[in-house]
């Protein structure tokens, strides 16, 4: 099939590369000339495991290409995927300006029947807005052609995006058109062989499904963080509690790890946007607001614990920070807990020596060069002359630690771990003061 994907970010590139890999002919469009020039030279703008190989392979096979020329993209695809960003506006609502700009572009160049597919995470009712924008463009040009707009929210996780796209639990499509059902079945057939994962529903339910999924996951995280904070105050161990509750199949072990708060480009903005949607229809979203406020507080826990360990005086201290990305296997630092920590440390007059296996370039892009930030070449280099260590991301590369050596390296034996990667007893045996989330030393 001929497919066009608008937006060459995390979702657009993964969608384009995976669809090309099963034989579809894919054109990816972006407005960012630098990004497209890079992609045309084989430079992949993001880190996502397996993505570079997949893109290079499919470009070489002639199934995948990149351009900023939207007219080429509109002419190419029978299916037009919209995978551009939907960042929060100043009220926390999803800003649809990029989505509607793509809709206008499609309407401006379209001459025959197309299916326009919302893959971006968009509030309920957006498909109607996309439809209206395209219809207005067609009318202005007096072009008479039919088109359909459907919702196909994306559930991939950064860090495992290709696996999720190709072997995800479900493929949700919101439409009331039999033509669209047939075309989407054909598009996704190569990913749908084991059992039927395609779930067709009405457009509004599909749009809400994506928000409900992310809000549910964010709720699990905030719930566990609340329990962890409570466990600490009650001298209980959240790790034992996690195992104790996870064993109940109604609860399960997945996604109940306490930590230093959720980040990334999806949970924070989607919980906020859903809360705004609720308020707009006259419903007070008490639970969503609590999920959000627990998370905002949790992102300050690392700094609070470190500050406690140093009696509130971090001025002039050098803090090693391991992990900057909002989770492992990505370079994405959007809304990452590490950013709250870094900015709090700088406000307190401390210097940061940071290391992340993939997010160094992104950190440099966000914060530039500043005297109180040193980007280090390895986890060991970050420890040189450091007063204490804080762990923000549970990268595999941090899992093994020589505790006595760590103690030797640090000026003060203080470790704050936002991901509960180590046993408090091992740390204590090595003479380290180990602050984690809901276990270890009380702060």
C-beta closer to ligand NAD: residue 7 or 323: 7
- Which of 4-12, 182-190, 363-371, 398-406 is the region at the interface with ligand NAD (rule: CB under 6 A)? 4-12
Residue 396, annotated as binding a ligand: no
**How many chain residues touch ligand NAD (CB under 6 A)?**
26
C-beta closer to ligand NAD: residue 7 or 337: 7
Closest CA to 127 of 207, 209, 200, 208: 207
209 binds ligand NAD (CB under 6 A): no
C-beta closer to ligand NAD: residue 137 or 239: 137
198 binds ligand NAD (CB under 6 A): no
76 binds ligand NAD (CB under 6 A): no
- Least CB distance from residue 28 to ligand NAD, whole Å? 9
Q: Which of the residues 158 through 197 are near ligand NAD (CB under 6 A)?
A: 158
Q: Label each residue of the chain as H, E or C.
A: CEEEEECCCHHHHHHHHHHHHCCCEEEEECCCHHHHHHHHCCCCCCCCCCHHHHHHHHHHCCCEEEECCHHHHHHHCCEEEECCCCCECCCCCECCHHHHHHHHHHHHHCCCCEEEEECCCCCCCHHHHHHHHHHHHHHHCCCCCCEEEEECCCCCCCCCHHHHHHHCCCEEEECCCHHHHHHHHHHHHHHCCCCCCEEEECHHHHHHHHHHHHHHHHHHHHHHHHHHHHHHHCCCCHHHHHHHHHCCCCCCCCCCCCCCCCCCCCHHHHHHHHHHHHHHCCCCCHHHHHHHHHHHHHCCHHHHHHHHHCCCCCCCCEEEEECCCCCCCCCCCCCCHHHHHHHHHHHCCCEEEEECCCCHHHHHHHHCCCCCEEECCCHHHHHCCCCEEEECCCCHHHCCCCHHHHHHHCCCCEEEECCCCCCHHHHHHCCCEEECCCCECCC
What x/- string results for residues 121 through 140 when contact with ligand NAD is judged by CB under 6 A?
A: x-------------------
Distance CA 337, CA 267 (A): 13
Residue 253, annotated as binding a ligand: no
413 binds ligand NAD (CB under 6 A): no
Q: Which of the residues 19 through 48 are near ligand NAD (CB under 6 A)?
A: 29-32, 35
Selected catalytic residue, list 266, 363, 376, 392: 266
Q: Measuring CA to CA, how many Å separate 379 from each of 371, 375, 399, 406, 420?
A: 19, 10, 12, 11, 18
Annotation marks residue 266 as catalytic: yes
Q: Which of the residues 220 through 239 are near ligand NAD (CB under 6 A)?
A: none
Residue nearest to ligand NAD (CB): 9
Distance CA 60, CA 55 (A): 8
277 binds ligand NAD (CB under 6 A): no
Contacts of residue 292, Cβ cutoff 8 Å, sequence gap at least 6: 218, 222, 268, 271, 272, 275
- Which of 6-14, 52-60, 374-382, 397-405 is the region at the interface with ligand NAD (rule: CB under 6 A)? 6-14
**Cβ count within 10 A of residue 392:** 31
Residue 155, annotated as binding a ligand: yes
C-beta closer to ligand NAD: residue 13 or 231: 13
Residue 156, annotated as binding a ligand: yes
208 binds ligand NAD (CB under 6 A): no
Residue 223, annotated as binding a ligand: no
C-beta closer to ligand NAD: residue 34 or 343: 34
Which residue from 4, 65, 67, 86 is in contact with ligand NAD, where contact means CB under 6 A?
A: 86
Which residue from 3, 4, 6, 339 is in contact with ligand NAD, where contact means CB under 6 A?
A: 6
- Which of 1-9, 36-44, 168-176, 272-280 is the region at the interface with ligand NAD (rule: CB under 6 A)? 1-9
- Least CB distance from residue 214 to ligand NAD, whole Å? 8
C-beta closer to ligand NAD: residue 214 or 318: 214
Residue 35, annotated as binding a ligand: yes
Please give the annotated binding residues for substrate, written as ranges: 155-158, 210, 255-259, 263, 327
Please give the annotated binding residues for NAD(+), written as ranges: 30, 35, 86, 121, 158, 269, 334
Q: Supply the residues annotated as catalytic.
A: 266
Residues that bind ligand NAD (CB under 6 A): 6-12, 29-32, 35, 83-86, 98, 101-102, 120-121, 154, 156, 158, 265-266
Please give the annotated binding residues, written as ranges: 30, 35, 86, 121, 155-158, 210, 255-259, 263, 269, 327, 334
């Amino acid at each position: 099939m001929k497919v066009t994907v608008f937006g060459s970010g995390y979702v657009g590139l993964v969608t384009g590369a995976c669809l090309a890999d099963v034989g579809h002919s894919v054109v990816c469009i972006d407005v960012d000339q630098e990004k497209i020039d890079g992609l045309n030279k084989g430079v992949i703008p993001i880190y996502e495991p397996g993505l570079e190989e997949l893109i290079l392979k499919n470009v070489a096979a002639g199934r995948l290409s990149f351009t900023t020329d939207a007219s080429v993209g509109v002419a190419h695809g029978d299916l037009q995927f919209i995978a551009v960003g939907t960042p929060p506006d100043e009220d926390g609502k999803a800003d649809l300006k990029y989505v509607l700009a793509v809709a206008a572009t499609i309407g401006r160049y379209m001459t025959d029947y197309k299916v326009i597919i919302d893959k971006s995470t968009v509030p309920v009712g957006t498909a109607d807005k996309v439809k209206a924008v395209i219809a207005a463009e067609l009318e202005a040009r007096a072009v008479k052609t039919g088109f359909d707009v459907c919702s196909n929210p994306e559930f991939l996780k950064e860090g495992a995006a290709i696996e999720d796209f190709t072997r995800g639990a479900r493929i949700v499509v919101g439409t009331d058109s039999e033509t669209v059902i047939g075309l989407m079945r054909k598009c996704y057939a190569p990913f749908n062989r084991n059992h039927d994962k395609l779930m067709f529903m009405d457009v509004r339910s599909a749009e809400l499904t994506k928000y409900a999924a992310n809000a549910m996951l964010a709720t699990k995280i905030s719930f566990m963080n609340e329990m962890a904070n409570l466990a600490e105050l009650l001298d209980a161990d959240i790790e034992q509690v996690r195992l104790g509750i996870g064993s109940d199949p109604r609860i399960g072990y997945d996604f109940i790890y306490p930590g230093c708060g959720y980040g990334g480009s999806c949970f924070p903005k989607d919980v906020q946007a859903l809360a705004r949607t609720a308020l707009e229809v006259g419903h007070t979203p008490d639970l969503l607001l609590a999920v959000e406020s627990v998370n905002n507080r949790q992102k300050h826990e690392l700094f609070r614990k470190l500050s406690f360990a140093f009696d509130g005086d971090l001025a002039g201290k050098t803090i090693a920070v391991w992990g900057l990305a909002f989770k492992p296997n990505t370079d994405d630092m959007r809304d990452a807990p590490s950013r709250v920590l870094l900015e709090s440390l700088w406000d307190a007059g401390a210097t940061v020596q940071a290391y992340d296996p993939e997010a160094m370039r992104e950190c440099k892009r966000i914060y530039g060069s500043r005297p109180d930030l040193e980007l280090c070449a390895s986890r060991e280099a970050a420890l040189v002359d450091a007063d204490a260590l804080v762990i923000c991301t549970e990268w595999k590369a941090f899992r093994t630690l020589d505790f006595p050596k760590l103690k030797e390296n640090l000026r003060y034996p203080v470790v704050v771990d936002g991901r509960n990667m180590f046993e408090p007893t091992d740390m204590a045996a090595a003479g380290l003061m180990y602050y984690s989330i809901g276990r270890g030393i009380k702060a």
